[in-house]
Amino acid sequence: MKCISLNFLFFLSWIFLTGCGGSGIETISLSAPGRNTLKVKIDVKTTHPNSLRISYWAKNDSLHKYITPNSPVGTEHPLVLTNLRPSSQYLYQIISTDGGVETRSKVYDFKTSGYPVWIQDFFRVIAPDTAAVPQSFKKGFVLFSRRETPGIIFMLDHKGNIRWYHQVNGTGFKTTHFTRNKTILSILGTEEYPTSYGNEILEVSMTGDTLLHLKKGEADFKETIHHEIILNDRDQIVTLNVQTKIMDLSSVGGSKQDTIKSDGIIVLDRKGKKVWSWSVFDVLDPLQDPKILQEKKDWMHANSVSFDNDGNYLMSFYNNGQIWKIDSKTGKVIWKFGRKGDFAMPSAGVFDQGHAVHRNSEGNLMLFDNGTSRETTRTLVFSLDEANKKSELKNHIVLPKKLYTARMGSAYMVGTDAVLHCSSKTNSIVLTNMEGRFLWMLKSMIMPYRAEFIPHEKVAPYLVN
C-alpha cells in the first residue's frame, strides 16, 4: 500500500496521520471542507470496488464512537466525519465490506484545529436551573445564521457549544431552514441587499456538500427574493419574491407612472424553472389602500410563507397585520386572519405584526407578534374554526420588556411543553415553558433573524449529543 497523501495547501499544519495499512486500501487523503474545524473529509482509494465506512472517536473517549454512512460500491470513497470538537485528538478506522466480508484497517489519528478567530466567544448561555430545561431540548440543537458577511449557519447545543457550522464568503445568510431531507436551505444576499432580501438560493447537506445553488438572473429566477424559503412535497423551492408594478396613482396624489413594490410567491424547480407564481397585485388593488403613497416602496411587506395542513399557503404581512390563506393551485385568497380580517378574534389575541407564521405540531396557528403598538413582544397560538370563521386564543406568552423586538423574530415549539423564541433586535434566543416561565437563554454577538429547534433524531448520525 502507498503512503497516505495530504492536502499540503493548509491542512498539514493541523492534521497528523500515523501509519498506512488496511486490506484493499491504496491511498488515504484528509482535508477540511471549507476550512471547517468541525468536519474532516477522508478520501479513500481502494484497489478494487467495495463499500467503505469509517468508525471514529475522540482519543480520550473510546466508549462513544461515531460511524459514517456506507459509501457506494466503487474504488473512490469520499467520506465526511462530523460530530467533531475543536482542538481535539481523534482516532479512526476504515471498515470495508466486500462480498459480505468485513475488513478493518489499522487505527489512524488526526487532530482538529481551534475555532477561527471570527467565531470565538460569539455566544453565552444563561440557564439558572438546568434541571428545568427539557431533555428533548438538551438532546437537540438550535439553528440560526449570520446575515452579514461572511455568512455563517450555526447549530449549537444547549450549552452554547458550536456543534456544526457552514461558512460562505462575500455574502450572508438572510434566512435559513432545516428541511425534512436533513438539508439546510437558505437565501443568501450581499451587503447591497438589506435585512432579509437576497439574490441566491443555496442548499447544503449536513456533510457540507452543495446540493443546489441558484443565482438571480439564471433561468426563471429573475426577481429579488426575501424572508422565506421552504421545500414543497416535490422538493421544489417555494420563496417570496419582490413584485413591481407601474401604475397611475395621480387620482390619489401620485404620478401617472408610479412604481409600487409588493410581494409574491414563486415556486422553482431544482434548475430554476418557474413552476407556479402568485402576486399580491393579482388579488388586491393598490388604489383601494388609503396609505398607498406612503407604503408604495414596500406595500404589504410579506414576511413568511408556510404550508397549511391541507397544502395551501399561509402568508403573513407586516404592514397590515394580517395572515392570508392562499389556494396553492388557483391563487385565490381563501381567508384573511388578523386586523380587519374574516375571523372573530378575542381581544387578547389582536396582534400588530406577525412573523414566522405556521401550523405547529398540534395543528394550531402559531406566530411571533412583534407588538409595536404596545412595545411588547408575544408568542400567540390560535385554534381556528375555518368553517364558522371563529378563533380561540390557545396560548399567549408575553416576553419581558427587555426582549421587545420591533422587527424580525420567530417562535417554534420544542416538543409539546416548551417554546423557542427569537428576539432578534436584542440578539437573544429564549426558551420558555408553555406558561412563559424562563428556562434558558442564548445571548449572541450576532442578530439572528430566526431560530429553529432541530430534534436530535432529525440530524443523526451527522450530529449527536
| pLDDT, tens digit, 9 for 90 and up, residues 123-154 | 999 999 999 999 999 999 999 999 999 999 99
**Average pLDDT, rounded, for the chain:** 93
Contact, 263 vs 243, CB < 8 A?
Answer: yes
335 within domain boundaries: no
- pTM higher than the cut 0.95: no
CA distance 309 to 155: 28
pLDDT mean over 415-422: 97
- What would you measure as the largest C-alpha separation in the chain, in angstroms? 83
256 within domain boundaries: yes
CA distance 284 to 45: 60
Task: Indicate if the pLDDT at residue 112 is higher than 60.
Answer: yes
pLDDT band at 99 (very low <50, low <70, confident <90, very high): confident
CA distance 443 to 427: 6
Other C-beta atoms lying within 10 Å of the C-beta of residue 270: 13
CA distance 142 to 420: 9
Task: Indicate if the pLDDT at residue 6 is higher than 80.
Answer: no
pLDDT band at 18 (very low <50, low <70, confident <90, very high): very low
Cis preceding linkage at 150, omega within 30: yes
Amino acid at 63: L
SS (H, E, C) 377-408: CEEEEEEEECCCCEEEEEEEEECCHHHCCCCC
Domain that holds residue 282: 197-300
190 within domain boundaries: no
CA distance 163 to 49: 34
pLDDT mean over 287-314: 96
Residue that terminates a domain, selected from 269, 300, 331: 300
Residue that terminates a domain, selected from 79, 111, 143: 111
Contact, 28 vs 44, CB < 8 A?
Answer: yes
Three cell numbers written together for 361? 405540531
CATH number of the domain that 100 lies in?
A: 2.60.40.10
Same domain, 9 and 104: yes
Which of these, 232, 308, 217, lies nearest to 267 by C-alpha position? 232
77 within domain boundaries: yes
- For the segment 49-93, what is each residue's pLDDT rounded down to a tens digit? 999 999 999 999 999 999 999 999 999 999 999 999 999 999 999
pLDDT band at 1 (very low <50, low <70, confident <90, very high): very low
Other C-beta atoms lying within 10 Å of the C-beta of residue 394: 16
Which of these, 366, 375, 418, 377, lies nearest to 133 by C-alpha position? 418
Share of residues in the chain with pLDDT > 90 (%): 90
458 within domain boundaries: no
pLDDT band at 33 (very low <50, low <70, confident <90, very high): confident
Q: How many domains is the chain partitioned into structurally?
A: 2
Show the beta-strand stretches assigned E in 269-376. Answer: 274-279, 302-307, 313-317, 322-326, 333-338, 354-359, 365-369
Residues belonging to the chain: 465
pLDDT mean over 447-461: 96
Contact, 351 vs 380, CB < 8 A?
Answer: yes
141 within domain boundaries: no
Which of 9-18, 223-232, 316-325 is the least confident region?
9-18
pLDDT band at 23 (very low <50, low <70, confident <90, very high): low
Residue that terminates a domain, selected from 253, 280, 300: 300
Which of 13-17, 192-196, 297-301, 356-360 is the least confident region?
13-17
DSSP 3-state assignment of 249?
Answer: coil
Task: Indicate if the pLDDT at residue 332 is higher than 50.
Answer: yes
320 within domain boundaries: no
315 within domain boundaries: no
